[in-house]
Amino acid sequence: MQRAILELRWGPEGGTKKVLAPGERLRVGRKPKAQWVVPDKHMSGVHFEVAYDGRRFEVRDLASASGTLVGGQKITAAEELANGGWIRAGETDFMVYFEAATPPEEDELDRMLEAESDDLDPMAAQWLEEHRERILRDKRKLEARRVEALDRLRKVDGPLYVVLDAARTDRILTVVRESVDRYKSLYEGIDGEALEDVAPYLVELDPSSSLLPRIIEEGWGNRWGIFIDYPRSFKELRRHLRRFLMVADAETRKKFYFRFYDPVVLREFLPTCTTKQKAELFGEIRAFLVEDPFAYVARFAAEVS
């Protein structure tokens, strides 16, 4: 059954989610009587309530001092929200999402393969006819590699994380937001908010979620990001990875962005780095798992001393 997600949007707790199964309600405010306590002094003790019945997601104000806004308008009665709906209470913004609500756009190549030749431009139809068998063969290979990758990643013993590069495609943020999984940008502060559409995001993959299969189905082979086998907490891994967003050249000391979350960059860097560099990058990480040039799983394990 599809779940609903209420996400706190900005600030130190930005990205925090509360998940509602059908039939559940949630009261939000700044005092312990609320089920979700938000440290916003402009909110009432129990400010608003949301309810989800499996089809409709509604919010109602609980006689708060400043009111509850939906889409920028103060509400006076229960208000239904659609996927991507916006709630504001006090000075805090919340977004509403439904799990896996937005299907992927059909691939242009898939549209061409399914079209009648008369519906295509003559040159496109000729090109497709000449390359159809190769295209179908490559698609079957990629699908098989994705099945293998999903099986391999599901067998990781312990917490599994992924760093996704939102600059790769808008689809990444859609998929992550419409999931129950915890996530947060590796960027911080005002700059992090300004760059949210192109930031790298750390995601802790929830075994009950459909996010991992969706990432593999859509992103494996398309350089969406890297997977990390790490035995410690989300907070600790995020703090560790943030150290490598910018690095300095050993000779010139000039700083530059290090896109370690690009699988191509990581798999080319690791075999060439020094023992010290590798030890610093891994820390307590047990292994990085990324796609190789042929969409197989490449696993880079920490060196055992």
pLDDT tens-digit map of 143-195: 999 999 999 999 999 999 999 999 999 999 999 999 999 999 999 876 777 88
- Give the confidence band of 34 by pLDDT, cuts at 50, 70, 90: very high
The reported pLDDT for the residue numbered 189 is 76
Q: Where are the domains of the chain?
A: 4-98, 151-301
- Measured distance CA(131)–CA(199) in Å, rounded: 36
Mean pLDDT of the chain: 92
Indicate whether 249 pLDDT > 80: no
- Name the percent of the chain lying above pLDDT 90: 75
- Using an 8 Å Cβ cutoff, are 46 and 34 in contact? yes
Least reliable range by pLDDT among 32-41, 131-140, 295-304: 131-140
pLDDT tens-digit map of 182-240: 999 999 876 777 888 999 999 999 888 899 999 999 999 999 999 999 999 999 999 99
Return the H-helix or E-strand segment holding 164.
strand 160-165
The reported pLDDT for the residue numbered 119 is 67
Burial per residue of 246-259, b for 16 or more beta-carbon CB atoms within 10 angstroms, e otherwise: ebeeeeeeeeeebe
Indicate whether 115 pLDDT > 90: no
CA 48 centroid distance within chain: 27
- Measured distance CA(91)–CA(201) in Å, rounded: 24
Average pLDDT over every residue of 242-261: 85
CATH number for the region 4-98 comes to: 2.60.200.20
Look up residue 103 and give its DSSP letter.
P
The reported pLDDT for the residue numbered 59 is 99
- Measured distance CA(20)–CA(6) in Å, rounded: 8
Instruction: Find, among 265, 271, 184, 207, the residue nearest to 7 by Cα.
Output: 184
Indicate whether 21 pLDDT > 70: yes
- Our CA angle for 293, 297, 303, nearest 5°, is 110
The reported pLDDT for the residue numbered 111 is 72
Indicate whether 112 pLDDT > 70: no
Q: Scanning the structure block, which residue is given the tokens 């947060």?
A: 184
Predicted TM-score (pTM) of this structure? 0.90
Residue 202: how many other CB atoms lie within 10 Å? 23
Q: Sheet harboring 36-37: ordered strands across? A: 36-37, 24-29, 48-52, 57-61, 79-81
- Give the confidence band of 305 by pLDDT, cuts at 50, 70, 90: low
Indicate whether 129 pLDDT > 90: no
* Token digits of residue 86: 């916006």
The reported pLDDT for the residue numbered 131 is 78
